[in-house]
Amino acid sequence: MSTNVPTDPAASPAGRHQVVIAETGESFACASAETALNALSRSGRKGIPVGCRGGGCGVCKVQVLTGEFRTRPMSRCHVSEADEARREVLACCIYPESDVQLRVVGKMQKAIFRKP
């Protein structure tokens, strides 16, 4: 787990990756210095709940099915060590290091599965 991550997406221009939502097939670009939630919010999808953006509310819980990522601290109230071992994490706290595929498991499901 890394806690020293840049917050400016422009800080790593070469590190752009695709993030795919498994249930819908939607994909969007995400810089390695940007959280998956920020990239999803920027993608133009309406109604994406963003909560606290700091790992404390649990609204953006996802499971990373494929790909590599690094994390910043997340509330253990919402992501247990067992969750993290299953790669269930908060989208606001993960930084893709390769193309990743996500399955939405948290409260964000309602927004993702709503017809655009």
Longest pairwise C-alpha distance within the chain: 37
Burial of 40 (0-12, 13-18, 19+ CB in 10 A): buried
Confidence of residue 7 (pLDDT cuts 50, 70, 90): very low
- The string of pLDDT tens digits covering residues 73-97 is 999 999 999 999 999 999 999 999 9
Confidence of residue 10 (pLDDT cuts 50, 70, 90): very low
Residue 97 to residue 24: CA distance in whole angstroms? 22
Task: Locate the domains of the chain by residue range.
Answer: 9-113
Helix-, strand-, coil-residue percentages of the chain, each rounded to 5: 20, 25, 55
DSSP 8-class letter at 55: S
> Is residue 43 scored above 70 in pLDDT?
yes
Class of domain 9-113: alpha beta
18 forms beta bridges with: 29
Burial of 14 (0-12, 13-18, 19+ CB in 10 A): exposed
pTM score, whole prediction? 0.80
Residue 1 to residue 85: CA distance in whole angstroms? 12
Which position has the token pair 């409260």? 107
